[in-house]
Amino acid sequence: MMAGAGVTAESACASCLRRSWLIARLSPNIEVSCDDRPGRRTPELLRLGDSELVEAVAPRQVDVILSENAELAEGWMRGVLADTGCWACCEHDERFPDGLGDGADAPRTLIGRGDGFPLAEITVNSAVTLVGSRRATGYGLEVARSLGREIAATGLTVVSGMALGIDGAAHRGALEGGRTVAVLACGPDRAYPVSHSRLYRQILERGLVISEVPPGTKPRRWGFPARNRIMAALSQMTVVVEAAHRSGSLITAEMAGDAGREVGAVPGQVTIGPAAGTNELIASGAALVRDARDVIDRVIGIGALPPAVSGPEIDQGLDSILDAVERGCDTVDAVADLLARDATEVAIGLARLEVLGYLDCSITGTYTRTAQPGCRRS
């Protein structure tokens, strides 16, 4: 018997497991049914009971599908879970995350993998969801990583979706600092996207991977908004780190708002597209998130985090270079042109600032400011 996260393949009752397998069986039908607007339609469908759901997405096969589902042997389902190293937990088990209990459209069963910490410890009050676009800027990635690290370091659980971009950065940061949960749109035994295979393995080892569909289920478009509603429900606050106009992360924020959770957003430059969605969220009332403190003040309480430490001391020359990078100069020559200083001198300064942790240099050689707080000079 496989065990993990304090639960086993036995921690879900047979009828709840059948519901998971029913959703997997209907996955192609739900896909067709949600074709035009998966964001709204998916939660509506998943709220339905078994027979209504089949009626809605596969009206011509209702009897066949329902009887097939009813005949699924309990032992077989548990066998599949055990063979893939997964565990399951349903709403009838006391260890089921409390966040999923209060929404009508929440899944009844979670199927998961990994043994980083007990599933029962994912409580609304101790979880924060970090989401954002897959096409992220260096700034967005840096903020996501740093938020993930610092929020996890205070003992909270960082929930995200393991997608490319912001999600991946948030998980990586959280792995450096503490606990993280990845919510997948496919079965929990699949690393999707494939390029995050390594991250997936790290999360299995030190965190949890959960999903509402059984092992082997392929990711489909409808699965992403469905996954988003789980992420929104699990935690007390959902923070959108970076999202363009009409990004999928905004759906997560909306779902969180609908479920009565807090919504926060990290502001970005108003002139660029990648931050249009988050800026709009702030304009419409979301909490403004600058750093982990802004999140923790709301989730745990004001003053829970000690005041920010000042970065290492730097002299006037380095400070002006740092300032130039903050103004958007991302190459040596751009900084040198702005400051009218010698390029070699600027290059040396940038190298020092990078070593001191103020700057990050990408694989393409461009500089971005890290989330490390600035140095307070007297």
Interface residues with another protein (CB under 8 A)? 134-135, 137-138, 164-165, 193, 195, 272-274, 330-334, 336-337, 342-344, 346-348, 350-352, 354-355, 357, 361-366
Question: What stretches of the chain show up as alpha helix (H) in DSSP?
Answer: 14-33, 38-46, 50-57, 62-71, 74-83, 138-153, 166-177, 197-206, 223-234, 248-258, 276-283, 292-299, 316-326, 332-339, 343-355
Q: Which is nearer to another protein, 73 or 363 (CB)?
A: 363
Residue number, 62 or 375, with CB nearest to another protein: 375
Q: How far apart are the C-alpha atoms of 170 and 252, rounded to whole Å?
A: 16
By C-beta, is 62 or 361 nearer to another protein? 361
Per the structure block, which two tokens stand in for 122? 């994912």
Nearer Cβ to another protein (258/337): 337
Amino acid at 77: M
In angstroms, the Cα distances linking 346 to 309, 314, 377 are 26, 14, 21
Smallest separation (angstroms) from another protein to the CB of 242? 12
Q: Shortest Cβ distance from residue 334 to another protein (Å)?
A: 5
Minimum CB–partner distance for residue 372 and another protein (Å): 11
DSSP for 76-142 reads: HHHHHHHHTT-EEEETTSTTS-GGGTS-TTS-SEEEEE--SS-GGG--GGGEEEEE--SS--HHHHH
Pick the closer one to another protein by CB: 46 or 336: 336
Nearer to another protein, 220 or 341 (CB): 341
CB of 270 to another protein, least distance (A): 12
Beta carbons of 238 and 260 less than 8 angstroms apart: no
Nearer to another protein, 99 or 165 (CB): 165
- Cβ burial, residue 32 (10 Å; 0-12/13-18/19+): exposed
Query: Least distance in Å: CB of 273 to another protein?
Result: 4
Least Cβ distance, residue 38 to another protein (angstroms): 19
* Minimum CB–partner distance for residue 367 and another protein (Å): 8
In this structure, what is the dihedral angle of CA atoms 349, 139, 273, 292, given to the nearest 10 degrees? -140
To the nearest 10°, report the CA torsion of 231, 232, 238, 243: 80
